[in-house]
Amino acid sequence: MRASGVELPKPLVPVAGVPLIEWNLRALLLHGLDQVVVAVPAGEDAIAGFARERLAPAAAAAGASLRVLTEPTPLGNIGCAGLLRDAGDVLVVFADNVTVLDLRALIDHHLASGAAMTLASHDEPFQLPYGRLELAGGDRVVAYTEKPELAVTVSSGTAVLSPAATGLLAADTPTGMADLARELLRAGLPVRAFRHRAPWVDVNDAAAIPRAERLLEQHAAAFAPVPRS
């Protein structure tokens, strides 16, 4: 985000006038999730302050609780869930994503499957910058498509972890979502995908902000208003 000229920490970047992290809280509240933890790296005082001063009272007004979990050392994008290993199954949402994914359906799918980890996933289109050749017999060209668009199944940056998954997360080691998935697979524990077609935008740079704003405009009902304290 900073490389594209935006100096704010990503969770606080405004999209349609509202910080990204607040849009995520609205989605959580809409789906009836009433125990929210905001993981903040040590030193990110602006994010922690916004969560405590704005989001926690707003969650309380909606009948939910929200607390800030400050990571003693950087724990990667999912390592903080290891500090919640006594909480049962944990839903992990990345603050820089905007989506109308049905979070309750994701959780229900996870619980019904008995998976150690369930990853929300969708097909994301990518346009190749080259001509694609299809070959037969090693060197016979049977098709030539100029700069085709291909759909790749990707992680939607949202997951549900069982205690078996959170139990593998070390309290002092950075761990990414992909790292945890690989560790679970090595341990022979089931990792499932929850496939969806919900609109989704990863707000990773300034160019993604207008796309996220269009998503929010088209799907306003998917984000519950957060009460003002």
Res. 229: pLDDT tops 60: no
- Domain range annotation of the chain: 2-121+155-222
Q: How far is C-alpha 139 from the chain's CA centre?
A: 42
pLDDT digits (tens, 9 = 90+) for 143-168: 999 999 999 999 999 999 999 999 99
Q: What is the CATH number of domain 2-121+155-222?
A: 3.90.550.10
Q: Collect all residues with Cβ–Cβ distance below 8 Å to 51 and sequence separation of at least 6.
A: 21, 38, 40, 66, 68
pTM for the structure as a whole: 0.91
Average pLDDT, the chain: 94
**pLDDT over 80 at 12, yes or no:** yes
pLDDT for position 6: 74
Tell me: pLDDT of 176 over 90. Answer: yes
pLDDT of residue 134 exceeding 90, the answer is yes
